[in-house]
Amino acid sequence: MAFETKEEILQKILEMTKPNCPHCNTEMSLWEVPEINFSDGLGWGTPYMFVCFNDDCPSYNQGWDNLKENMEHYASYRCINSPGSSNFEYMPVFSPSGGKGQIIGNDEIAMRESFKEAMKQGFSLLTDFFVAGDWDEIMKVLLSPEYPPRVRLKAAQMVGDIGGSDAVEHLVNYKFPSKPLQEAVDSAVQKLHERHYTRECPYCAEIIKKRASVCRHCQRELTSC
C-alpha cells in the first residue's frame, strides 16, 4: 500500500458521505484526532474520525449516568466511526465541549480550499516568472508574507538559481519568519555567491568579489579564500 500523507487522507475522506450516528441518526462530524491520544497505548490508526457531537444523542446522554455509576467518573462517550469502515465505537469525553475543538467544519474546509488555491496560483506565477527569467518578481514573492510558506520556499530556490548579482543584498537584509525558509534563503545566498564569484567582506559585511585582496567598501586587507 502506498504511503499517504495526512492531506491525501483528508482529501479522500472529504469525498465520502458523512455517516449518520446509529444511535440518533444525526449526521456525524468530521473530526481531527488530537496529537496526544488519551486512550493509553491505543493508536487510532487514522488521523481523522467521524464523531457524533449531537448533545441530544441518547447514547451520549446515557453515558454520563453509566460512567458515573460504573466507573465513578464524570465523563461520557461519543459515538465514533473510522472513515470507510462500518464499525461504530466510542471515545470518552469529559465535558460536553470535549473534543469539539477538533471538529473540521465547513469553514475549515473552505479555508483549506482557499489556501490550496493560493498555493496553486503562487506556483503558477513563479513558473511564469522563472521561464521569463524575471528574478525581480520572484524576489517580490519571496519577500511577501501573503504567499503561503511553500510558495516562498520555492521562490527562494528559484532566486538562488537565476538571481542577479544584487539579489544577495535583498536577501541578507531581510529576516525570514521560519527556519525552513531561512535555510532555503541561506543556501540561495551561497549559490548566488558562487555563480557571481562574490562573498561577504568579513569586516563590513558588504558584498565583494571573491578574489578581492582589499575590500572596496572598508578598504581592509583581505586574505583570499
Cβ 80 to Zn ion, closest distance in Å? 10
Among residues 18, 23, 100, 196, the one that binds Zn ion under rule CB under 5 A: 23
C-beta separation of 177 from 160 below 8 A? no
Cβ 203 to Zn ion, closest distance in Å? 4
Q: Which string of x and - marks every residue 189-208 that binds Zn ion (by CB under 5 A)?
A: ------------x-xx----
**52 is a site residue for Zn ion (CB under 5 A):** yes
Beta strands (DSSP E) in 19-60 are 29-32, 48-51
Cβ 64 to Zn ion, closest distance in Å? 14
**218 is a site residue for Zn ion (CB under 5 A):** yes
Cβ 216 to Zn ion, closest distance in Å? 8
Q: Among the candidate windows 14-22, 90-98, 132-140, 185-193, which touches Zn ion by CB under 5 A?
A: 14-22
Grid cell, residue 38, equals: 488519551
Q: Residue 12: CB partners within 8 Å, gap ≥ 6?
A: 4, 83
Grid cell, residue 156, equals: 527562494
Q: Among the candidate windows 21-29, 31-39, 115-123, 135-143, which touches Zn ion by CB under 5 A?
A: 21-29
Grid cell, residue 53, equals: 457531537
Cβ 97 to Zn ion, closest distance in Å? 16
**80 is a site residue for Zn ion (CB under 5 A):** no
C-beta separation of 51 from 79 below 8 A? yes
**91 is a site residue for Zn ion (CB under 5 A):** no
β partners of residue 51: 29, 80
**51 is a site residue for Zn ion (CB under 5 A):** no
Q: 80 vs 155, which CB is nearer to Zn ion?
A: 80
Q: CA-to-CA distance for 38 and 92, rounded, in angstroms? A: 9
Three-class HEC string of 91-145: EEECCCCCCHHHECCHHHHHHHHHHHHHHHHHHHHHHHHHHHCCHHHHHHHHHCC
Binding site for Zn ion (CB under 5 A): 21, 23-24, 52, 54, 57, 201, 203-204, 215, 217-218
